[in-house]
Structure 1
């Protein structure tokens, strides 16, 4: 099994397919490397596609302490994987937790990024909801500790933003939910406390976002209430960004609407690679 080792000696399991310009896929909290399979099968026809399980998600290693799951660790893990594969720069495609990590790579090491795709990014963003979001993360982590993998699936699998997937595609949702029930509960709890419940809100990076010059695609589902405001915030602060809103869609964008996700991403990558995804023309901004 292929593993990359991080600077703090955590082993990350990864898979890759195809050849060409690299795309690195970063998964959400309730997923792992395998959740990007619909994208690997499609984009590996013309790109080198890499997906990996974050720390705390088997077959990757599960560090013992909450402090090993900070947003900086997650950011640096993506860079460590690029280093291991000797990839100077890649397109980064992230969903939710993975989108936040991809964004942090873009802010911290923009030379390693060809473009950013930020899907379902920024839960808990609103100032009036932030403390409640963090409190829920801590409560969920305690439930994961008590309830094990079944507790992870029960809480994380049936959050409001996942219900559209359940309604629209029960078969696909069952597969997603069954995979979630196999997660390492300790890793999920530590990720919930160390990353989800402790990461800074996007608003703390407002100044840095305004300086970001990477081609950026933001994707949100119109029934993913937790990520609509944050997606609009990203759009308004990143001059080189575009926003795609998927109708009647929740949080699990790449699995709930794989064909639409792939088509949207494909168009963006083609324009980014052609140098045709630039900053917004100031003349188009309402004053």
Structure 2
């Protein structure tokens, strides 16, 4: 585990392997380890000949926590990712994000387009534009003292996930309130890098991948068969499709 400083935060990251760099940005309430190490992504990419960089987003994992919602806009988290590339002296990288991390990756491509070679949007399809349903219940669930009283299924799921990862629930509640900025169709059309949009066929959070891919000038859609939002992450067909996509677009 290594650390670097940006915008008043100490941000944790790992950097493994050699070859074309792939920057991994995890989802809400997750960590680099839960999203990328445990499901085998770091090993898969490293073994395929890539340099793999994965950070803990601000408010998550071993990075600095803030309880100020204004610290968690996707623009600020995208700038953290660009700062990590600066810190490592990497001019341009493949970028892969999952769920909230996919949104951050999109903002990274818009704010720092020269730094992004290709994009993989995992676990977030047209929901990046149209929204992904009611999320205020998640903030309420995170701040509830007794989790037994949580009745909303999505709130219960994310509270359980946050407890499993031993997260700072106040930081996550702040994050969920400001990290959901939607992109306009015009903004998506400005993302000109080759982009793969991958969503599970049983994912009721992300929105369909095909309409999102259709908005991207170089978009491709991939459906992760019989997987929901959580189980899509480590799916072997998803890994195989990403490796195929990266091989088709070398730096």
TM-score range, shorter chain: 0.7 to 0.9
User: Residues 222 and 228 of structure 1 are in contact (CA less than 8 Å); yes or no, is this contact kept in structure 2?
Assistant: no
Offset of residue 255 of structure 1: 3.5
Task: Tell me if 1:261 matches 2:241.
Answer: no
Offset of residue 137 of structure 1: 2.5
User: Residues 157 and 180 of structure 1 are in contact (CA less than 8 Å); yes or no, is this contact kept in structure 2?
Assistant: no
Task: Tell me if 1:139 matches 2:117.
Answer: no
Q: Distance in 2 between matches of 1:32 and 1:273?
A: 27
Q: Which runs of 5+ in 2 are unaligned?
A: none
Which secondary structure state, in structure 1, belongs to the residue aligned with residue 229 of structure 2?
A: coil
Task: Tell me if 1:273 matches 2:233.
Answer: no
User: Residues 21 and 51 of structure 2 are in contact (CA less than 8 Å); yes or no, is this contact kept in structure 1?
Assistant: yes
Q: TM-score, normalised to structure 2's length?
A: 0.87
Give the number of the structure whose alpha-carbon radius of gyration is greater.
1
Offset of residue 180 of structure 1: 3.4
More helix, by proportion: 1
C-alpha change, 1:55 and 1:214, in structure 2 (3 Å) is: same
Offset of residue 143 of structure 1: 2.7
4+ residue runs over 4 A deviation = 122-127, 148-152, 154-157, 176-179
Q: Distance in 2 between matches of 1:215 and 1:139?
A: 35
Q: CA RMSD in A?
A: 2.7
C-alpha change, 1:179 and 1:90, in structure 2 (3 Å) is: farther
Task: Tell me if 1:188 matches 2:172.
Answer: yes
Counterpart for residue 4 of structure 2: 4
Q: Deviations along 1:197-217, whole A, 9 cap, x unmatched?
A: xx1x23x2x123223321111
Task: Tell me if 1:65 matches 2:43.
Answer: no
Offset of residue 141 of structure 1: 1.2
Q: Which runs of 5+ in 1 are unaligned?
A: 160-175, 275-287
Q: Distance in 1 between matches of 2:129 and 2:75?
A: 21
Residues 173-184 of structure 1 correspond to what in structure 2 (within 5 A)?
A: 177=161, 180-184=164-168
User: Residues 93 and 116 of structure 1 are in contact (CA less than 8 Å); yes or no, is this contact kept in structure 2?
Assistant: yes
Q: Distance in 1 between matches of 2:191 and 2:228?
A: 27
Counterpart for residue 19 of structure 2: 20
User: Residues 122 and 226 of structure 1 are in contact (CA less than 8 Å); yes or no, is this contact kept in structure 2?
Assistant: no
Aligned pair count reads 244
